[in-house]
Amino acid sequence: MADKVLMKGNEAIAEAAIIAGCRHYFGYPITPQTEIAAYMAKKMPKIGGAFLQAESEIAAINMVYGVAAAGRRVMTSSSSPGISLKSEGLSYMAGSDLPALVVNVQRGGPGLGGIQPSQSDYFQATRGSGHGDYHMIVLAPASVQEMAELTVKGFELADTYRMTSMILADGTMGQMMEPVSLEFDVKPAPEKPWATVGTKLQRKHNIVNSLSLVPEELEQLNFERYEKYNYIKENEAMYEEYLMDDAEYAIAAFGIASRVAKNAVNEARKQGIKVGMIRPITLWPFPVAPFKKAADKVKAIISVELSMGQMIEDVRLATECKVPVTLCNRVGGMIVSPEQVLEAIKEVAENGGAK
């Protein structure tokens, strides 16, 4: 059994990134994720890495773009308003097929919003975030251990598919402390013959670029990128099922909401209600399979979210609207309570799933 250390979620991300071989971090201060930058500022100079506080989120993501173009593992982190600013760069990175890790420790919005936890950037994360047809791999940790594990996994997936991986956490996940094991088998970065590191006069020059002025060619590039996305959908979806074997009702929840919902599921079971939970770990690709399966056996699904109902759309798509899907939520930095989720479960159970 590996030794465990007590860490904040944000620190676990930073340490796991270093373990994954990331030696370049660029960021701009924003609550509630600043511990990541502080950790990197302390550690990077000691291990031959580079930490740089950029002049803006926009500059930070473009520094990431530069390091990624040079083939190195690189990351940035921010919180909701900062991710909006980075979204230009995220679109360019998708258009140039560059791998990197981006962390969003979400806070309530829109606008400047608040600084308390939220999951209201689900649409932004799973629908690309910037302009154009593209996706990021979106990973949703539900513990400090997963903050670390999914950071390592995020770098590996990014390199495998030449995409951005995003850790979609929230203020609670970032700030809370839990014991975490930091022993990982890290897959080393693959060869990157496309990287701009100088030709050494040995090959034709490499160009990292997202401009393509010929419509037929740009269309083809989009087609090829979506073939890759389809492969990822088939092969990389991750989820956890909790007490789903005999479940008559299901909760859909990710991240901190799933932690709360699990308590409510346990309490409901004590009260004789057969409820389980499907917890997406990848939000993109969305784990369609367990929901499809659930749609044929449960009477109703409750989507527990810290948003006005964003993941619920994917749940409805995955279940093809075969069963009613209701929303149980708090927003603006408020967090659902186990009691609230339990009430929602009881309500659908009393109605036998009918709306």
Partner 1 sequence: MVVFDKPHSLNEMSMHYCPGCTHGIIHRLVAEVMDELGIEGRTIGVAPVGCSVMAYNYFNCDMIEAAHGRAPAVATGVKRADPENHVVFTYQGDGDLASIGMAETVHAAARNENITVIFVNNAIYGMTGGQMAPTSLPGQVTQTSPYGRDVNHCGYPIKVCEMLSQLDGPEYLERVTVNSVKAVRNAKKAIKKAFQNQLDGKGFSLVEVVSSCPTNWGLTPQQALKWIDEKMIPYYPLGVYKDRSAGEDK
Binding site for partner 1 (CB under 8 A): 24, 26, 50, 52, 54-56, 58-60, 62-72, 74, 88-89, 92, 96, 196-202, 205-211
Q: Which is nearer to partner 1, 196 or 340 (CB)?
A: 196
How far is Cα 315 from Cα 33, in angstroms, rounded to an integer? Answer: 29
Task: Report the nearest approach of partner 1 to the CB of residue 55 (Å).
Answer: 4
Token pair 């109605």 in the structure block, residue: 351
Q: Which is nearer to partner 1, 56 or 230 (CB)?
A: 56
Asked if 171 and 115 count as a contact pair (C-beta separation under 8 A), the reply is yes
Q: Could you tell me which of 343, 229, 244, 342 has the C-alpha nearest to residue 284? A: 229
Task: Report the nearest approach of partner 1 to the CB of residue 17 (Å).
Answer: 16
Task: Report the nearest approach of partner 1 to the CB of residue 152 (Å).
Answer: 21
Q: Which is nearer to partner 1, 91 or 116 (CB)?
A: 91
Asked if 298 and 323 count as a contact pair (C-beta separation under 8 A), the reply is yes
Task: Report the nearest approach of partner 1 to the CB of residue 97 (Å).
Answer: 13
How far is Cα 9 from Cα 347, in angstroms, rounded to an integer? Answer: 34
How far is Cα 8 from Cα 233, in angstroms, rounded to an integer? Answer: 31
Asked if 278 and 241 count as a contact pair (C-beta separation under 8 A), the reply is yes
Task: Report the nearest approach of partner 1 to the CB of residue 69 (Å).
Answer: 5
Q: Which two tokens stand for residue 304?
A: 């527990």
Q: Which is nearer to partner 1, 193 or 272 (CB)?
A: 193
Task: Report the nearest approach of partner 1 to the CB of residue 160 (Å).
Answer: 20
Q: Which is nearer to partner 1, 93 or 277 (CB)?
A: 93
Task: Report the nearest approach of partner 1 to the CB of residue 209 (Å).
Answer: 4
CA distances from residue 65 to 59, 98, 207, 226, 257 in whole angstroms, order as listed = 10, 7, 13, 21, 32
Q: Which is nearer to partner 1, 63 or 349 (CB)?
A: 63
End-to-end CA distance of the chain: 48
Q: Which is nearer to partner 1, 7 or 208 (CB)?
A: 208
Cis peptide before 117 (omega within 30 of 0): no
Q: Parallel, antiparallel, or unpaired for β 100-106 and 74-78?
A: parallel
Task: Report the nearest approach of partner 1 to the CB of residue 270 (Å).
Answer: 54
Q: Which is nearer to partner 1, 11 or 57 (CB)?
A: 57
Torsion of CA 311, 313, 316, 317, to 10 degrees: -110
CA distances from residue 124 to 25, 130, 173, 226, 244 in whole angstroms, order as listed = 22, 8, 19, 18, 29
What is the residue-wise DSSP string for 270-338? HTT--EEEEEESEEES--HHHHHHHHTT-SEEEEEESSSSSHHHHHHHHTTTSS-EEEEE--TT----H
Q: Which is nearer to partner 1, 75 or 312 (CB)?
A: 75
Task: Report the nearest approach of partner 1 to the CB of residue 276 (Å).
Answer: 45
